[in-house]
Structure 1
Amino acid sequence: MTMKIGVALVGPGRIATAHVASISKAADIAQLTAVVGLPAEDARTAELARKFGAMRATSDLDGVLADPLTHAIVLSVPNHLHCRIAIQALSAGKHVLVEKPLATSLSDSDLMIAAARKFQRVLMVGQCRRFFPALEQARELLPSLGRPLDIVHILGLPIETAPTDWWSSTDAAGGGPVLWVNGPHFVDTVLWFMGEAPVDIYARGATYNAKQWRGADQMTAVMSFSDGSVASGHLSFNMRPAANDQWIVGPKGTLRILNDRSLFVNGELLTESEPEEYLQGDISFERQFRAFAESVLGKKPPLITAEENRVTIEAMEKIEAKYRQNQIRSGGHV
């Protein structure tokens, strides 16, 4: 009989459906033991628990962490709460899959890493886009492109109103909202591709919609690497229509990754995944959770460990600092 892990979802917010759907699809190795939310989120918490067959819906996090049937949690709370709740769970002997970003600072990241080591538990970061087949195959093909590389990622969508209050708060998000909400996708993917930390960073950003955002909703970040490679990310909450387009140009060829699902090599389609509704859970979330569960069960080493992802937070802190140094203040910008 295959052993199953009991998993609680902590934080019934915008991305929670994708996580609980992925847990339910891994029924051979996982059981959703609880959905945990604040008392003000009771209706949403109960809805998710009912729809995805959780054993209970509750606002009692301490009770869930004391439950021997719960071996792990998936943490999808606002960014600034990642550190405190992750350490609380690790201290209670639970494994943790934490939504990106790992934390809102390098110091918090180090506290989380230390707790995972102390209590000998898995602490994995939910950088879901690494699990798209197109990105995995692109990474395998990178050596064939030669060096240096020129990586360009355009990642934008139109957001008139923040879908949840904490997105618009620089304190809760971690800094400029467009960087700390969507930027982890760009930064983590590039560092995963390159296999090293950047040697230099530049950033410039602005707040186009100052009524909605307290911080940058538009940003360009550039990371340079030791071999001469350069990666630029163009992040936007104002782009119409939405775009998610990555280009990787090397001396010997060009890769293009469109919407994380289609991989083109020198203009020819090589890999394509079926389009799915991201927020409802797709192949990336399903593969991400299964990788986490298998690492908890000891079947495979953990992927995207907090130690590995630390360099992403370090780079994002530096991007935030450069943005604050160079932010546009003219016209409607702040």
Structure 2
Amino acid sequence: MSLGVGIVGHGSAGRQHLAALRDVSGARAVAVLEDDPAAGTGGLPRADSWPALLADPDVGLVALCVPPGGRARLAIEALEAGKAVLLEKPPTTSAEEHAAVLAAARSAGRPVGVMLQHRLRLPEPALATDWTGPEVTAVLEVSRYRAPEHYLRAGWRSDPAVSFGGIAAHLGVHYLDLACQLLGTPAAVDLAPVRRRAPGIDSRVAGTVSFEGGATLSFAVTAESPARTERLHLLGPGGALLVADGRVTTTGADGVGTTWPAAPTPALRSEVYREMVHAVATGLPPRRCHLQGALGVTDILARVGRETAVTR
């Protein structure tokens, strides 16, 4: 029997989740919960309410495609109702929320995953290499233009308590998370002055991250350039790793390189759902897209949020 999925929120993220599920044989979308009566549901039944969705025996997994603010509370309620949970990115807005959701998952015995699908781009040889030492230096750049109106129009994007910020939390999050998967646990974050579209809504963030093992990361994320790029470059004693617009290249100390082509992002979202199907069947956390590994990027984004909120 396939895993029934209830989609909460039918905005851009919710529609992406529905598209991803069409290519997953072990799961199916069964209902959509959307507060806006004018919004569609992709042809699926509309859930009457949040309690009704949680009470639906056909729903085994709840996909939370709502803005970050308040998402952790919904995740805990879903887990307490016996549902597995898949969180959109960024999954939580603080270390405290992160810990609370994981505690609820342990108590309920249900898995929690995150839609940080770019983790699935990393080949096993890259993950098998130790990138955590003090000899490792990394550089990250993400550029995706967003007009000022994108953040200034009415709605949740202009409210930092709901949106958890701007460009860093909603687009920089993927490659910042990749950096944490490879470099380890952040120990300190130092930021240059943050540029803002609105109070608490960042449009350019740059700084450095020091990791517990000694590795360092310099990063810049901007919504202010028409150039589009996502790039993470690691340099260590054993060689280099480059993730550039989804394509991964590893280079050994002998200078010999191997390249993995960029998989389509929609296909990676489907793979996240396949991980969730396996996690629900086995009771184990998802192999790659687990919530446990998202604490590092949550800490970085929370630091960005505190800096963005400062009036200058």
Q: Gapped runs of 5+ residues in structure 1?
A: 330-334
Q: 2:33 is matched with which residue? A: 36
Q: CA RMSD in A?
A: 2.7
Percent of residue pairs identical: 22
State the match for 1:283 in structure 2.
267
Aligned to 1:168: 158
Report the number of matched residues.
305
Pick aligned residue for 1:294 from 271, 274, 278: 278
Give the TM-score of the pair, scaled to structure 1.
0.81
Q: For residue 217 of structure 1, report the CA deviation from its aligned partner.
A: 0.9
State the 4+ residue runs in structure 1 displaced beyond 4 angstroms.
144-147, 266-269, 322-325
Q: 1:200 aligns with which of 179, 184, 188?
A: 188
Contact 1:264 1:270 in 2 (8 A): yes
Establish whether residue 4 from structure 1 lines up as the match of residue 2 from structure 2.
yes
Alignment map for 1:108-257 (pairs within 5 Å): 108-132=97-121, 135-137=122-124, 139-140=126-127, 142-143=129-130, 148-160=135-147, 161-162=149-150, 165-174=155-164, 176-194=165-183, 196-207=184-195, 209-210=197-198, 214-257=200-243
- 2:297 matched to 1:312? yes
Structure 1 residue identity aligned to 2:282: G
- The verdict on how the C-alpha distance between 1:218 and 1:145 changes in structure 2, with shifts beyond 3 A counting, is closer
In structure 2, the CA distance between the partners of 1:57 and 1:256, relative to structure 1 (3 Å rule), is: same
1:5–1:297 contact (8 Å) kept in structure 2: no
Q: Deviations over 1:6-38 (max 9, x none)?
A: 1111111112222111112112x1121111111
Structure 1 residues 224, 12: CA separation in 2 closer, same or farther (over 3 Å shift)?
same
1:332 matched to which residue of 2? none
Contact (CA 8 Å) 1:169, 1:177: kept in 2 or not?
A: no
Q: 1:255 and 1:10 mapped to 2: Cα distance? A: 37
Counterpart Cα distance in 1 of 2:176 and 2:196: 22
The answer as to whether partners of 1:145 and 1:252 remain within 8 angstroms in 2 is no
Distance 1:153 1:85, change over 3 A: same
Deviation for aligned residue 1:75:
0.9
Larger mean CA deviation between 72-81 and 223-232 belongs to: 223-232
Aligned mates of 1:225, 1:76 — CA distance in 2: 30
